[in-house]
Structure 1
Amino acid sequence: MKPIQTEDRDIIADIRRLTHRANRNNITRTQAYLAFFQNHSEVHWALLAHLVSRNGGWNMTDLHGEWLPRLMTAAEIKNYFWFLERCNWLIFHDAYAQLLLYEKMKRTGQDLTALLVDLGVSVFMQPIWQSFLHTKDSVRLTRALIINEQQYIEQRVVDKPFAEQQIFFSLAFFTQSILSLNQVIFPYKEHPTDRRLHACGISVHRFPSVTQRIDIGKTLYQLLFDNPVRLQSIYEWARRIPHTGSRADYWPHLFTPRKPASETDGRYLPRFEGKELIAGAPKLYSPQVSSVWPDQEHPPADGTDWYQGENWQTALEARADLPTLDEDQYIRSLRMIEWGVKFVQAFRP
């Protein structure tokens, strides 16, 4: 193997430094993805990653929000947060380094894709980036990054005993699946004069399956980019509203980041009537990430290259059309969660 030249070593060190700095927590990652897309809109994956990372933050804060502490134990909450955080951290660690290398190549006009291996990136991505430098095929690049990042976390998190024993086989995970708690949504305005945001997205099922996660990513990408008007509305909202991790970022009429006074007996009282809260009912508590989760220290991203000569060309070219959800379905899922909390309370002393 040819030794790394001093200039290349400096590029790698700089990329690693910048990636580490932006990988502090869910907030910094989410901001970094959006900032990159604003400068390089041909890399569609960066906007998709920003929005999915926002959802990751909402999932993290749900663990200390209105409902999940009533359905999960403290140990389950801690384990589930670590699972979300580790996946969020690993994907950023791998993908953001690729984005920064592309930024360098775009600025200098050099093909530096040989450095991907030294950055720990799968050999699967090298020809993809080489091709993108000339074709600017945003769709193919996005699908490749979706495949690569889901494979990246497969052996490092999803297929680990911890995830199997403490996450996927837990009663809490089963309960969340039944109640449709695992969702990814995109807020947007259908018309500029709308006072409130609408929502579209997908319910996440069969998360342990890597092919299912890849199809979820592709479906979300199509949902985001197939409709230019909706895409622009989603993007404008993302630029206008900083990510805090609270669901009040998109629906402040339902959610609040301010912790309400405790109910007299500590039990949840029904809030919903149709799409709105019952008159006089307090808003649903949805804290900000920084108020409930401190920054985490992560072990190195271990593992080997997932790509061992398998043919993923078909997956690169194929669409995925999983069922999506609209605002009415999302509201129904919130009401189902409320029903689940009431059910658990009824049988819990």
Structure 2
Amino acid sequence: MNVHKRQTVTAILRLIEKETKIKNADNISRTNAYKAYYDRHPEIKWPLLASFVSRNAGWSMTDLRGVLYQEGLDSSQKNWFFLSYERANWLIFSDAYPQLLVYQWSKQIGEPLFRHLPYFRVSAFMQEEWFRFWRDGDTERLMYALIINEQNTIQAPIIQNPSFKKNVFGTIPFYLSDWFHFNTVIFPSFDGHLYGISVKRFSKTEERITLGKQLARLLFSPDLHASFYRFLDTVPHTGSRFDMEKMIGIKKRTSPMLRTTYPIVAHPLDGERADWFQKRLRKGAFLQEKMPKQLELTDWYFQKRRELHALFAVKEWLKK
């Protein structure tokens, strides 16, 4: 590589670092950045999925300060749950968004820059997958690869982190949420229906990967994709669950907007992020997953809201 080309690449990498840092400020900026990227590069499907899932993360964050959890969790629990959502949201973006921008610059200059992905501590697995995509153009495989990568990326620093295990993933509220299917990702359609998929054993990497692949199939299903996209394209993301609840006729806001509730979180750098990839994936990692029988969840959603209210009411009664 000659000096001029090396200087150009160095400048590109620094621009990517700068843009990633700016857009990784909070859940709102991440969610919007994913959606904007998909609109620029629709052949890369994962960012649209990431934007929808990131909306759900924002709703979960503000739920903690809303009516629903007012009595269910104490202030310390609320803070830990928020930090787990925020840290995972931040970590996935810090890993994935530089990859997306490297692809964007590769398109712009007409040659692949993926050999520079290690600069951003991206896994060897994804470096290989980006080269494969550049060569073969398999959009579904790349989407699945990003799902696999991001769930493995958060496993050690978030799910297995001793502090998060003690204060979030090992707590009774989390186990109850897992058991009663409150850990459900919701996709609202513009025409006033809710679709979604639940995950049990959220702490298991393979369960979250299966969920991600199922959600991808749901999002891009021919019958529903246009309505999902219209919701994402026309309903601004405030972080409040009311963004989607108003689509199904709920008139009263039960959770606040994110930027009126939480400050910007300064995330500490954790030194070298270990590469999770051990040269082998489970058999069938890139195959489609079987879909649940029930995907339309509008009535289910109202029922779960009532159950959660009842659960927290019992919890408060037992404390007396």
* Percent identical residues: 36
Could you list the per-position Cα deviations for residues 291-339 of structure 1 after superposition, in whole angstroms to 9, with x for gaps in the alignment? Answer: 11111000125421111222356302x1122535422222221221122
C-alpha distance in structure 2 between counterparts of 1:330 and 1:149, whole Å: 27
How many equivalent pairs are there?
315
Equivalent position SS for 1:314: coil
* Structure 1 equivalent of residue 200 of structure 2: 205
* Structure in which a larger fraction of residues adopt helix: 2
Could you list the per-position Cα deviations for residues 247-284 of structure 1 after superposition, in whole angstroms to 9, with x for gaps in the alignment? Answer: 11122277xxxxxxxxxxxxxxxxxxxxx77xxxx835
Could you list the per-position Cα deviations for residues 230-256 of structure 1 after superposition, in whole angstroms to 9, with x for gaps in the alignment? Answer: 1011101101011001111122277xx
Q: Which residue among 270, 275, 278 is the counterpart of 1:305?
A: 275
- Paired residue type of 1:109: G
- C-alpha change, 1:154 and 1:253, in structure 2 (3 Å) is closer
* TM norm structure 1: 0.85
Quick check: 1:188–1:233 contact (8 Å CA) kept in 2?
yes
RMSD: 2.1
Q: Which moved more, 1:87-96 or 1:201-210?
A: 201-210
- C-alpha change, 1:214 and 1:186, in structure 2 (3 Å) is same
* Structure 1 equivalent of residue 231 of structure 2: 237
Equivalent position SS for 1:77: helix
C-alpha distance in structure 2 between counterparts of 1:43 and 1:223, whole Å: 16
Unaligned runs of 5+ in 2: none
Equivalent position SS for 1:186: strand
Instruction: Map 1:1-40 to 2 at 5 A.
Output: 5-40=6-41
Equivalent position SS for 2:150: helix
Q: Which moved more, 1:177-186 or 1:8-17?
A: 177-186
* TM norm structure 2: 0.93
- Paired residue type of 2:173: A
C-alpha distance in structure 2 between counterparts of 1:65 and 1:345, whole Å: 17
Unaligned runs of 5+ in 1: 255-275
Instruction: Map 1:1-349 to 2 at 5 A.
Output: 5-189=6-190, 194=191, 197-225=192-220, 227-252=221-246, 283-302=252-271, 303-312=273-282, 314-316=284-286, 318-321=287-290, 323=292, 324-326=294-296, 327-349=298-320
C-alpha distance in structure 1 between counterparts of 2:85 and 2:314, whole Å: 26
C-alpha distance in structure 1 between counterparts of 2:247 and 2:314, whole Å: 25
**Which structure has the bigger radius of gyration?**
1
Q: Which moved more, 1:211-220 or 1:293-302?
A: 293-302
Equivalent position SS for 2:256: coil
C-alpha distance in structure 2 between counterparts of 1:89 and 1:322, whole Å: 29
Q: Find runs of 4+ consecutive structure 1 residues off by over 4 angstroms.
A: none
